[in-house]
């Protein structure tokens, strides 16, 4: 094999282990932030849903108190 194609051959056929790991690392640098953003959005939406439920409960209780005061 000539010396010009040797680095390409080593890269393709596993002559250099680091060269085969680098693309995996690059892919992880793209996948991990996307997964983190998805996780964050899910947690954020869950907390907002919980907050809305609490606020609805507070509003319902205040309505009961206000209607009781009007009746007195």
pTM, two decimals, is: 0.59
Does the pLDDT value for residue 17 go beyond 70? Answer: no
18-54 pLDDT, tens digit per residue, is: 666 777 888 888 999 999 999 999 999 999 999 999 9
Q: How confident is the model at residue 4 (pLDDT cuts 50, 70, 90)?
A: low
Roughly what angle, to the nearest 10 degrees, separates helices 6-13 and 17-71?
A: 50
Cβ count within 10 A of residue 47: 10
Quick one: which of 25, 1, 21, 24 has its CA closest to 11?
A: 21
Q: Which two tokens stand for residue 58?
A: 């507070």
* CB of 27 closer than 8 Å to CB of 21: no
* CB of 15 closer than 8 Å to CB of 9: yes
Q: Say what the pLDDT of residue 21 is.
A: 78
Domain spans in the chain, listed from the N-terminal domain onward? 6-71
Q: What's the mean pLDDT in 48-65? A: 96
Does the pLDDT value for residue 11 go beyond 80? Answer: no
């Amino acid at each position: 094999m000539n010396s010009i194609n040797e680095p390409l051959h080593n890269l393709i056929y596993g002559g250099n282990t680091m060269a085969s790991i680098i693309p995996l690392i690059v892919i992880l640098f793209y996948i991990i932030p996307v997964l983190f953003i998805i996780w964050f959005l899910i947690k954020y939406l869950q907390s907002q849903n919980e907050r809305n439920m609490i606020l609805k409960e507070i509003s319902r209780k205040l309505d009961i108190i206000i209607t009781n005061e009007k009746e007195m």
